[in-house]
Structure 1
Amino acid sequence: MRQIKILATLLLLCQSVFVFSQQRPERAKIIITGNVIEKTSNTPLEYATITLKNTRNPKLIFGGITDSKGGFSVEAAAGNYDIIVEFISFKPTEIKGKQLTENTNLGTIALAEDATQLNEVVVRAEKTTVEIKLDKKVYNVGNDLMVKGGTVSDVLDNIPSVSVDVEGNISLRGNENVRVLIDGRPSNAINVSEALRLIPADAIEKVEVITNPSARYDAEGGGGILNIILKKGKNKGVNGTFIGTLGEPRNNGLSGTLNYKSDQFNLFTTQGYSNRNNPGNALTNSRYLNDDNSTRDYMNETRENDRVNKSYNGNFGFDWFLDKTWTWTNIVNFRKSSGDNIDNVFQNYYDVDFVYDYTRNRINKEESNSKNIEYSTNFTKNFKKEGHKLTIDGSFSSNWDKNFAFISDTNTNSTDVSFDETANLQEQSRNLFQTDYVYPFGKGSQFEMGYKGDFVKNTTNYSVISDGTPRPEFTNILEYKEKVNALYVNYGFKVKKFSFLFGTRWEDSDIDVNQLATNDFNNKKYDNFFPSAFVNYEIGDQTNASISYSRRIQRPRGRQLNPFNNLSSNVNIFVGNPDLNPALTDAIDLGFLKRWDKLTLNTSLYGNKTTGAFQFVRRESGDFQNGIPIIISSPINLATEYRSGFEFTLNYSPYKWWKLNGNFNFFYAETDGDYTYTDFNGNEVVQNFDNSATSWFTRLTSKITLPYKIDWQTNATYNGAQRTAQGKNLGNFSMNLAFSKDVLKDKGTVSLNVSDVFNSRKRMMETYIPGVVDSYGEMQWRVRQINFSFTYRFNVQKNEKERKPRNGGQQDDGGDFPG
């Protein structure tokens, strides 16, 4: 029960800090600074509480909390104080009768763990589901019941500002131009969306949402960055967690983390196996048009998918504490998966009066296999001066994807049967080198510089055989090579209540897109500067405002470039565009953060301008299938896209047993551009894609502690409608439910969650191309999912406050404002 008392004391102290900071008498102020660390490992302690109690006037109290580097700065009136430094599960330190008459640095204060408190835990201390900071949001996965038994995609779809559509495409504030990192490094997977569906949610510690990154981050991703941090054990001794899951449709899995830490080594591993079935469905009802837009005929297409996947995901690693200043980290990650997907397509044909004619049945049986292996290493040197650090990173990975499809095509008005076979073999290698140097100097000033080299090679071998005959027009080997070298510098400083961070990044890009079958070789070389600027103003102890600017880039990859793709539908075909150019984005963000004792509000006004933005267009190919025109969908560079919006996030705890988190985003998007192509009759066609649209989405999460310590979590999401250049995406509502209960003296937890309660999570769209087609479509990637999971922990307290590891980690672990 002692931890309950500690938690209650900590909450009361935070509330007292806020209340008394609002009631300070007007008198000369002084600044009290210092740093708080963990005594054993010298690790900075974030969110430690500092309280100053005036010995002559007990009602006069000042206080604050430490930042991510363990530093604190408390404004107080001159006087004699008892100073108390506290952190949950640590022995508090008290400095009695300290006379403070001028600005004072208390130096470094080391706290030791209180073993007695740790052994007497009955009710755990919970981290908030979302930690809101001025420059980013940090989503802690451990508390979210919704994702038990799920994958990384499920985790991302529960994060404020982030949406994952039914096809796995990720968007941030409605913008799909997002960079996804894993432990601060780009994913080495060929298909990132598919790879994220293979990593279990239980392997994730947290996700960082960075809407407007500084120059120290990769310039890739005009919409922002999502950094997925995987779990690594941090507690001393042997400890671990094991999770078993059963689901309907089939979602069976077993995963676990195991960790051993001593004074010299930290050994850790995460292992997971899953066997999933993800049935889905789609439909497209099309009315084909004559040149005068009158009806020619109809075709309604329905599709049933039955996806089965078996996957293994594991890593092994160690931290070697060479001495008090040097840490060497090595990690090996391995992922393997195999899957089958039966795509059963029915096409019902009708004449101009909608009288039934005949039905075609197209069955696409796919077999896929994937292997991915990555080795990463990190050296971190922490110098004597707090925050003075050098990190050196290397990452080497290979990925193999094999996909074979066997397609049969029959129809009710003929005895003919056609067969297609496709093979899609992809191999990708990635080598990454990086070094970062941080040097703090003066009061609240910091200089950063670094280099990064990212070298990728991807080869896609695609072939088609129809009725035993090779189809050379559908056969190609696409070779993609990308070499990016980058240098960056950042300088941050603090002047009174203002914090400034200015930087620039230079990236040199050398890209080859080669179609080996047709001897079509394309090389694109360009270099760009990516400046960034951040200004933060501390209005009060609990209130901040900021303005930031950055320049970003989006390079086309993978499916967007490959001019050959699958033939699951013979009349609606996606084709990549190897001539796509990168899109450049200028982004500005105005932020405001306000904290009360029970409520945290984070709002943002933002605007983006993207030149060469990607847009998917549909056009007639000139070919016909049984009289039906074959429609080609392909990405192109349109001229300019303007995007602006307003967002706010609320964390509210009206009672100890009830926590609410809400997120709302409204945005406006405008596209200016024309598309010109030559149709199958040799005529030049100019399409005007000028379009403006507004849309919005909102998400509300409620977590309630019921009697008998049962946790109940509800998540409701609504994505508003949005016009597109050739139609409209319709609005959609979905809801998830979850319950959990601690058992076995809190060493175990049983959870039940229902994803998509109403089975309503679909992509619904309307498309209208004058003189071609008027259609309505729906796509549901996965039907309603019910999961039951059991978690068992040993030598680990549930949701225990994690301290940052001694090694500095990757480039994206830092970037806070100085001071």
Structure 2
Amino acid sequence: MKLKLFLICLLTQFVSMQAQTSAPNNFINPGSISGKIVDKKTSEPIPYATITIKDAGKVISGAISKENGTFTVGNLELKNLTIEVQFMGYKTYQGNFNLSSENKSVALKTIALEEEATMLEGVSVVRDRSTIEQKIDRKVVNVGKDLVASGTNASEILNNVPTVSIDPQTKELSLRGNSNVRVLIDGKPSNVDAAQLLQQIPSASIKQIELITNPSAKYNPEGMSGIINIILHKNANIGFNGSINTGVTFGKTPKTNSSVNLNYKVGKVNFYTNYGFNHGRNANHGYVNSSNPGLENLQNFEFNNLNNSHLVKFGVDYYINDKNTFSVYTNQSINHTGGTGKTIIDYSGLGNNDSSQYFRNRNKNNSQTYDAAFKHNFDKKDEVLDVEVNYSKTKNSEDTHYDDSSTESNGSLASDFDTRNVIKGVTDYTQINIDYTNPLTEKTKLELGAETRIQTTKNNFNSHKDGTQFSAPYDLVENADNRFSFNRNISAVYANYGTEWSSKWSTQLGIRMEYYDISGDFDKSETKFKSDETPQNTSSNESDRVTDKIFTFYPSAFVTYTLNEKNSFNFNYSRRVDRPSIGQISPIREWSTPLIESKGNPELKPQFTNSFEVNYTRNMKVGSVTTGVFYRRINDEISRVIFNDPNDPSNNRKILSFDNFNDNNAYGVEASANLKFTKWWSANASADAYFKTVRGTIQNATTNALENAEIDVTSFNARMNNTFTATSKLKFQLFGMYRGRDLSLQFERKAMYKADVGLTYSVLKGKGTVTTRLNDIFDTMHFAFDGNIPYRQYGAFYWESQTFYVGFNYVFGGGKNRALQRKQRDANETQSGGGLL
């Protein structure tokens, strides 16, 4: 209770300071008004109601009611004024009062607010069941409690969203079977790698997830498979309100996931803030069995990582007048991880020494984002000018210690090396947008805009290796100091023209023009010192530079045909690009084990994609079904490749990197449904299938020659989430998913599947909800692969998939009525249904 009052007082002070800027600092008006606000039906006090004082329709001051419903507003001029009281779910109260030299303070009678005619009990801000809104150019996933309970962070939530999947080991995100997807937070890019970023965002902080599979010319064309935009909680409801979410996931060790969302709006100012905290230890293990001729071995892995992440968002919206709004916000992300791991390599043959590697590491990633936006509404309806400036800075560092040793067949130590790798990186990103919308007529609309993006990245890699190889008459010391800098500047302009031909047909055509300029420098310095009877000192320096300049057009087209209220079709096309990311082109190693190292390829070229889609939505009594097909023509496809390390004379160590493959075709079908069979049973279901031919070049393990390869890939996925309503307060969920096998040129990923069960129970008159969930009931979810290129390899990785979650959500400040109106508003925005689990 004290915390609430402290926050209210703090925010009220900001508003009071803003409201007083127009008055002389040495003058305080003598007038004041006080009163109490209650529910007309129950006579219970209403806290956090908004009191607005107006003079001839102009807002001059305001306040909010306390926990007991009372309020006081001071510093008022002595004249006739108007008081207005608002609270979500109640009718607005208005009254007049007069302040004079004889009556400077007015104590009003108790103000009894009357409830709106429509009212339901037990409705909260966070929906029990997630839903999808099918819009002209995107699907909007409204995150419910079922998704929040499915995982502790954004990565685990997205793994339960149709057409999206997360690789269990690398955490790589893919949409429609392709990893070339762009991730935005509140519509803005982040410097943090998507795989790492999704691990930092608590699930309870997410309000919506937008799947933009074929963006229009207005949007950045990067990402072959589209854009995933994650929207964090923020609202502009009148008064002070918010929510608290907390949960614990029990696996091998407990993990916590909590967030607090606060909002305060009064008069012309709206404050909002969100804080999320993620903490937990994760244990993983796996194996790889390799049949490399002459080097047959079994590798066993064990990893243990501790994660601590904090995500803070704070913003202010200032409604200058009816035509102008100014907004600022900041996101602050702090992520610290640390862990240990070991790799044991057991060779089958007698001629190779078994080896082991133990490591411990510490990683830090701090990201800051600052955003300022101005919106101007012209006199013409829907004519709008938006100007926005976004700046972000990310610092990341890694400090890893390796202890490598090998043993001979008789058990004696053959070598022992200690290595320390230190990696530091800094990325600065600036984006400036100007967007203008003009409705030329009632049925036509023109959109114009310009954008500039400036990105600068610097990475340093320092390695020190010190040890002894007992079978040789010398000790070895190696030092490496590598630096990589990368600059990318993109300038773009776009135009969209939309029109309605008739009541059934509408279209939008667009064109985007971009100039792309990059430069990258890689400096590699290595020193080796061998100590024996004749010490040797060798050193080398290398320097590489990457540059590219491209001017390109990106057209887009959308056509919608509404046959009737029950049937609608959508056709769309866009051209997209996948420019290599910093991680894909940086030659600095990403991670390393004794037998494999992952790093980028500075020679990568952008890949371009022409994407086509057709979607159909059918509305029925029991719900709605959306189906769709898509086709993509991909040029110079970027994909993973593995080859022998040219610096390893034994040909045992591998490099995992990226390369441009030949042109490719991909197509697929999707279907999703949002159905309510009875009053007590509803279901969200989805299924999708993807088909493509992968062509490229691989390396022969025996001859080291490059060979052409081709493979046809078919991938099938299905999900279903059932909700069973036992009582008005108690609901059960049963969730199941199947992810079919997937193929690359070198490996087959085995099918994955699981089943979850959970329940939600409403408490505290509908303001609180308790949620429990058992994930992966049968402990069947794990990653397994098998391959024959460049030689036979198979293996599996396991993580804490079978877990038990218990969480609590509490909504305060607006009560059941505010939540009802929020839900009704969301329902009115829904254009057509879809499926979600």
Q: How does 1:448-459 map to 2 (within 5 A)?
A: 448-459=447-458
Residue 771 of structure 2 corresponds to 751
Q: 1:499, 1:536 within 8 Å by CA — same for their partners in 2?
A: yes
Q: How does 1:195-206 map to 2 (within 5 A)?
A: 195-206=197-208
Summarize the Cα distance change of 1:440–1:143 in structure 2 as closer, same or farther, 3 Å threshold.
farther
The one-letter amino acid of 2:304's match is D
In the TM superposition, what is the alpha-carbon distance from 1:578 to its structure 2 partner?
Answer: 1.0
Matched, 1:260 2:283: no
Alpha-carbon distance between aligned partners in 1 of 2:183 and 2:319, rounded to the nearest angstrom: 30
Residue 802 of structure 2 corresponds to 784
Residue 763 of structure 1 corresponds to 783
In the TM superposition, what is the alpha-carbon distance from 1:717 to its structure 2 partner?
Answer: 1.5
Alpha-carbon distance between aligned partners in 2 of 1:90 and 1:499, rounded to the nearest angstrom: 39
The one-letter amino acid of 2:556's match is S
Residue 668 of structure 2 corresponds to 645
Equivalent residue of 2:156, what SS? helix
Matched, 1:596 2:594: no
Residues 317-360 of structure 1, C-alpha deviation per residue, up to 9 Å, x if partnerless?
A: 111000011111110111112111212111122128xxx98642
The one-letter amino acid of 1:476's match is N
Alpha-carbon distance between aligned partners in 2 of 1:743 and 1:148, rounded to the nearest angstrom: 21
In the TM superposition, what is the alpha-carbon distance from 1:624 to its structure 2 partner?
Answer: 5.0
Q: 2:202, 2:258 within 8 Å by CA — same for their partners in 1?
A: no
Q: How does 1:626-645 map to 2 (within 5 A)?
A: 629-645=652-668
Equivalent residue of 1:467, what SS? strand
Summarize the Cα distance change of 1:566–1:581 in structure 2 as closer, same or farther, 3 Å threshold.
closer
Residues 527-551 of structure 1, C-alpha deviation per residue, up to 9 Å, x if partnerless?
A: 1100001111111112111211100
In the TM superposition, what is the alpha-carbon distance from 1:623 to its structure 2 partner?
Answer: 5.2
Q: 1:749, 1:792 within 8 Å by CA — same for their partners in 2?
A: yes
Residue 513 of structure 1 corresponds to 520
Residue 393 of structure 2 corresponds to 398
Among 381, 385, 388, the alignment partner of 2:380 is 385
Identity of aligned residues (%): 26
RMSD of equivalent CA atoms: 2.9
The one-letter amino acid of 2:277's match is Y
Equivalent residue of 1:144, what SS? helix
Equivalent residue of 1:187, what SS? coil
Matched, 1:579 2:603: yes
Q: 1:714, 1:738 within 8 Å by CA — same for their partners in 2?
A: yes
Q: 1:146, 1:755 within 8 Å by CA — same for their partners in 2?
A: no
Residue 250 of structure 1 corresponds to 254
Residues 132-171 of structure 1, C-alpha deviation per residue, up to 9 Å, x if partnerless?
A: 3343211111343454661111221121111112121111
Residue 329 of structure 2 corresponds to 331
Among 99, 124, 130, the alignment partner of 2:132 is 130
The one-letter amino acid of 2:578's match is Q
Using the TM superposition, name which of 581-590 and 237-246 deviates more.
237-246
Q: 2:130, 2:146 within 8 Å by CA — same for their partners in 1?
A: no
Matched, 1:698 2:697: no
Q: 1:338, 1:368 within 8 Å by CA — same for their partners in 2?
A: yes
In the TM superposition, what is the alpha-carbon distance from 1:646 to its structure 2 partner?
Answer: 0.8
The one-letter amino acid of 2:686's match is N
Residues 544-584 of structure 1, C-alpha deviation per residue, up to 9 Å, x if partnerless?
A: 11211100001111321122315641112223101111110
In the TM superposition, what is the alpha-carbon distance from 1:117 to its structure 2 partner?
Answer: 5.4
The one-letter amino acid of 1:308's match is L
Residue 528 of structure 2 corresponds to none
Q: Which runs of 5+ in 1 are unaligned?
A: 1-38, 42-87, 93-112, 290-295, 806-812, 815-819
In the TM superposition, what is the alpha-carbon distance from 1:179 to its structure 2 partner?
Answer: 1.2
Matched, 1:121 2:121: yes
In the TM superposition, what is the alpha-carbon distance from 1:628 to its structure 2 partner?
Answer: 6.8
Residues 55-103 of structure 1, C-alpha deviation per residue, up to 9 Å, x if partnerless?
A: xxxxxxxxxxxxxxxxxxxxxxxxxxxxxxxxx95889xxxxxxxxxxx
Summarize the Cα distance change of 1:478–1:124 in structure 2 as closer, same or farther, 3 Å threshold.
closer
Residue 222 of structure 2 corresponds to 220
The one-letter amino acid of 1:264's match is K
In the TM superposition, what is the alpha-carbon distance from 1:674 to its structure 2 partner?
Answer: 3.9
Alpha-carbon distance between aligned partners in 2 of 1:470 and 1:320, rounded to the nearest angstrom: 61
Summarize the Cα distance change of 1:483–1:797 in structure 2 as closer, same or farther, 3 Å threshold.
farther
Matched, 1:716 2:732: no
Q: How does 1:187-586 map to 2 (within 5 A)?
A: 187-189=190-192, 191-248=193-250, 249-289=253-293, 296-351=294-349, 359-412=354-407, 413-415=411-413, 416-467=415-466, 471-472=478-479, 475-496=481-502, 497-517=504-524, 518-566=542-590, 568-586=592-610
Q: Aligned pair count?
A: 686
Alpha-carbon distance between aligned partners in 1 of 2:510 and 2:574, rounded to the nearest angstrom: 9
In the TM superposition, what is the alpha-carbon distance from 1:263 to its structure 2 partner?
Answer: 2.5
Equivalent residue of 1:519, what SS? strand
Alpha-carbon distance between aligned partners in 1 of 2:481 and 2:785, rounded to the nearest angstrom: 31
In the TM superposition, what is the alpha-carbon distance from 1:610 to its structure 2 partner?
Answer: 0.8
Structure with bigger gyration radius:
2
The one-letter amino acid of 2:211's match is V
Summarize the Cα distance change of 1:632–1:801 in structure 2 as closer, same or farther, 3 Å threshold.
farther
Residues 178-203 of structure 1, C-alpha deviation per residue, up to 9 Å, x if partnerless?
A: 111111111231x2211111011111
Summarize the Cα distance change of 1:494–1:149 in structure 2 as closer, same or farther, 3 Å threshold.
same
The one-letter amino acid of 2:298's match is N
Summarize the Cα distance change of 1:612–1:801 in structure 2 as closer, same or farther, 3 Å threshold.
farther
Q: 1:145, 1:740 within 8 Å by CA — same for their partners in 2?
A: no
The one-letter amino acid of 1:230's match is L
Alpha-carbon distance between aligned partners in 2 of 1:366 and 1:259, rounded to the nearest angstrom: 39
Using the TM superposition, name which of 549-558 and 120-129 deviates more.
120-129
The one-letter amino acid of 2:187's match is G
Q: 2:149, 2:807 within 8 Å by CA — same for their partners in 1?
A: no
Alpha-carbon distance between aligned partners in 2 of 1:781 and 1:534, rounded to the nearest angstrom: 43
Alpha-carbon distance between aligned partners in 2 of 1:566 and 1:607, rounded to the nearest angstrom: 33
TM-score (norm 2): 0.78
Among 690, 693, 707, the alignment partner of 1:670 is 693
Alpha-carbon distance between aligned partners in 2 of 1:146 and 1:120, rounded to the nearest angstrom: 24
Q: How does 1:613-624 map to 2 (within 5 A)?
A: 613-622=637-646, 624=648
Summarize the Cα distance change of 1:804–1:174 in structure 2 as closer, same or farther, 3 Å threshold.
farther
Residue 681 of structure 2 corresponds to 658
Q: 2:491, 2:515 within 8 Å by CA — same for their partners in 1?
A: yes
Residue 29 of structure 1 corresponds to none
Using the TM superposition, name which of 730-739 and 174-183 deviates more.
730-739
Alpha-carbon distance between aligned partners in 2 of 1:372 and 1:427, rounded to the nearest angstrom: 10
Residue 177 of structure 1 corresponds to 180
Summarize the Cα distance change of 1:385–1:737 in structure 2 as closer, same or farther, 3 Å threshold.
farther
Alpha-carbon distance between aligned partners in 1 of 2:191 and 2:199, rounded to the nearest angstrom: 14
Residue 72 of structure 1 corresponds to none
Equivalent residue of 1:184, what SS? coil
Alpha-carbon distance between aligned partners in 2 of 1:804 and 1:217, rounded to the nearest angstrom: 30
Q: 1:312, 1:335 within 8 Å by CA — same for their partners in 2?
A: yes
Residues 712-766 of structure 1, C-alpha deviation per residue, up to 9 Å, x if partnerless?
A: 2232221111222123121111233332211111221111123333333322221
TM-score (norm 1): 0.79
In the TM superposition, what is the alpha-carbon distance from 1:370 to its structure 2 partner?
Answer: 1.4
Q: 1:134, 1:593 within 8 Å by CA — same for their partners in 2?
A: no
In the TM superposition, what is the alpha-carbon distance from 1:228 to its structure 2 partner?
Answer: 0.9
In the TM superposition, what is the alpha-carbon distance from 1:456 to its structure 2 partner?
Answer: 1.0
Summarize the Cα distance change of 1:486–1:797 in structure 2 as closer, same or farther, 3 Å threshold.
farther
Q: 2:758, 2:774 within 8 Å by CA — same for their partners in 1?
A: yes
Q: 1:643, 1:669 within 8 Å by CA — same for their partners in 2?
A: yes
Q: 1:271, 1:315 within 8 Å by CA — same for their partners in 2?
A: yes
The one-letter amino acid of 2:450's match is Y
Alpha-carbon distance between aligned partners in 2 of 1:649 and 1:119, rounded to the nearest angstrom: 31
